Amino acid sequence: MSAPETPATQTSATQPPAAPAPPLSRRHRLFAAGFRAIAASRADLWLGPVARGRGLILTFHHVRPGRPGPYDPNGLLAITPDFLDRTLALVRRRGFEILGLDALPERLAAGGRPFVVLTFDDGYRDNAEHAAPILRRHGAPWTLFVTSDFASGQGRLWWLELEEAIRRLDRVRVPEAGLDLPARDAHEKSAAFAAVYRRLRSGPEARLLAGIAALCAEAGLAPGRMAGGLCLSWSELRDLGRDPLVTFGAHTISHPMLAKHGEAVARREIAEGRARIAAELNRPVTHLSYPVGDPTSAGPRDFALARDLGFATAVTTRPGHLFAAHADHLHALPRVSVNGHHQTEAALSALLSGVPFLAWNRGRRLNVA
C-alpha cells in the first residue's frame, strides 16, 4: 500500500516466455539504488550498530509464486515463497531471534538479543497455502491480522477492485476527482491507477469507495465480492489456528482508514472487529493492526482507543525499528514492510540494519504524533 526480482522463468517450445516485469516507479528506483549503495559500502554492517534498534516488526501481505505481469500496481504487496524462505534464513544468519508478538512488550522493555517479529495483514488465503509451511519449517512464530468482514466473504478490498477495474477498461473516468485518462496498455493502466489512487486516497473514504464502485460497475465487477476468493474464511482460520506458531490479531471490521472517521466509528471498528474474531476462533485477541496504518490513517486518537480497549500492542505502517522508548508507546509501533518490488538480499540487509531509516525518519527514533 508499497518488479519483484525472481529467478528467470525457463521457457520451452510449449511454454511462452514470461511477461516482462513492470518498470519500477522513480520512487522505487531510488529505493533500489539506495539499497545497492548501502550494500556496496557495507554500511549495513558498520553503521548498523548505531542505526539498529532493539528489534523490528516485519510486515507482509501476499505470499504467492509467480512473477508479475506488466500491469501490477499492487505488486509491492506480494513476495514469492522463495523470498520468504530466504528472508527467514537471512534474519537468522544476521543474529536476530524470531519472536512472537506476545513476547514483544517484555523484550522491548528488558532488552537483550536483537529480534524480529513477523506480521501478515488482511488474512489472505495464500498466507496459509504458501507462507505457513515455510514458517513451520523455520519454527518461526507469526501473527495474522484478520479483517472480520473479509473472513466473512464480504468487505471492500478496494485497492484490488481498482486494479481489476482498470485492467478491464480502456479509459478511466472519475468525474468527482477530475480524472479522464486513457488505459489502453499496461503503461497507461499503471499511470491511471497511480493517478486515481493518489487523488481518491487524499480525500474522504466515502468518496474513494464510491468512485471505485462506479469504475467497477463500468467494468462489469461487483464491489465487495473479491474477499471470498482471496481471504481465509472463518473455517479456514480455525484450521490454521491449530498451528501453535500462529497468533491472530485484529484488523478492524471493514478495513477503514480510521483517522478519516469519527471516534464512535473508529471505536466500533476496532472493538467489534476484535470481538468477532475472538468469538469465531474461540481465543483472546490482544494485538491490533491499523488498516493502511500511515499517519493519514491512524493517529494519536486511534492509538489512545487501542490502549483504552485493552490491546497489548497495536502496529502502524510508519517505517522504523523499535527502540527502548517504544516500550512507552506500545499502541503506535512502527513496522518495516517487506516490499515486493525489492526482493533482494541487499534490500533486506539494509532494512534489518536500520540504516535507511536514519534518512527516512530524519534521525527520529519515535514517530507517534
**Burial readout 256-279 (b: 16 or more C-beta within 10 A, e: otherwise):** bbbbbbeeeebbebbbebbebbee
Residue 142's φ and ψ, nearest 5 degrees, are -155, 160
pLDDT tens per residue across span 237-268: 999 999 999 999 999 999 999 999 999 999 99
Q: Is the pLDDT of residue 2 over 60?
A: no
Please give the residue that has the higher pLDDT: either 369 or 187. Answer: 187
For the segment 294-335, what is each residue's pLDDT rounded down to a tens digit?
Answer: 999 999 999 999 999 999 999 999 999 999 999 999 999 999
pLDDT higher than threshold 60 for residue 20: no
- Residues 45-61 pLDDT 10s: 767 777 789 999 999 99
* Strand partners of residue 145: 121, 249
Coil vs helix vs strand at 222? coil
pLDDT at residue number 308: 98
CB atoms within 10 A of CB 185: 11
Mean pLDDT of 65-94: 94
b vs e for 150-171, b when ≥16 Cβ sit within 10 Å of the residue's Cβ?
bbbbebbbbbbbbbebbbebee
In the structure, what pLDDT confidence band is assigned to residue 41 with cuts at 50, 70 and 90?
Answer: confident
Q: What share of the chain in percent tops pLDDT 90?
A: 78
Tens of pLDDT, residues 271-290:
999 999 999 999 999 999 99
Backbone angles phi, psi at 355, to 5 degrees: -60, -45
Please write the tens of the pLDDT for every residue from 114-145: 999 999 999 999 999 999 999 999 999 999 99
The reported pLDDT for the residue numbered 139 is 98
Q: Cell numbers for 223, please give them.
A: 464491489
Selected residue with higher pLDDT from 326 and 25: 326
Task: Check: CB of residue 117 under 8 Å from CB of residue 56.
Answer: yes
> What is the pLDDT at residue 186?
97
Distance (Å, whole) CA 312 – CA 256:
21
Residue among 79, 234, 223, 80 at smallest CA distance from 160: 223
Asked whether residue 32 carries a pLDDT value surpassing 80, the answer given is no
Distance CA 335, CA 290 (A): 11
Q: What is the chain's mean pLDDT, rounded?
A: 90
Q: Do residues 322 and 56 make contact, with C-beta atoms less than 8 angstroms apart?
A: yes
- Report pTM: 0.91
What's the pLDDT score for residue 43?
A: 65
> Would you state the cell numbers that stand for residue 245, as one nine-digit string?
506458531
- Burial readout 115-138 (b: 16 or more C-beta within 10 A, e: otherwise): bbbbbbbbbbbbbbebbbebbeeb
Q: How many CA atoms lie within 13 A of 118 on its CB side?
A: 25
Sequence letter at residue 31: F
